[in-house]
Amino acid sequence: MKVVAAYLLALLGGNPNPSADDLKKILGSVGAEADDDRIKLLLSEVKGKDITELIASGREKFASVPSGGGGGGFAVAASAGGGAAAAEAPAAEAKKEEKVEEKEESDDDMGFSLFD
């Protein structure tokens, strides 16, 4: 990943065709080790290609990957819990809010507030 970042930094810096030495120089400037094999692999893969097209095709591929976490099981379990728990939740929230307000008032007694 750091080799890709160095490559993109070189492009952003105005170097349309960064070399392995350019990438090593960028990586060295931040104290990162340069892996010659990874640099060669990256440069061989991007040689002659437009970076904007590569990024666009990568986004398309990434968008098609399922991200998991559908949450279907949790939603069913939460709704099957019954109405009693749902009715108690707002009352508990109201009590918490009252306690928070009391703390804020005590801050005013000290003569200062972080948000003034």
CA distances from 77 to 68, 72, 74, 112 (A): 18, 9, 5, 46
Q: Is residue 25 part of a domain?
A: yes
pLDDT tens digits for 70-96? 555 545 444 444 444 444 455 555 555
Q: Is residue 95 part of a domain?
A: no
pLDDT of residue 86: 47
pLDDT of residue 63: 84
pLDDT of residue 43: 95
Q: Is the full-model pTM beyond 0.75?
A: no
State whether residue 55 is helix, strand or coil: helix
CATH number at 37 reads 1.10.10.1410
Q: Is residue 109 part of a domain?
A: no
What is the number of domains present in the chain?
1
Q: Is residue 53 part of a domain?
A: yes
Q: Is residue 20 part of a domain?
A: yes
Q: Is residue 15 part of a domain?
A: yes
Which residues, given as ranges, of the chain have pLDDT below 70? 69-116
pLDDT of residue 5: 94
Q: Is residue 80 part of a domain?
A: no
Q: Is residue 90 part of a domain?
A: no
* Pairwise CA distance, residues 14 & 30, whole Å: 19
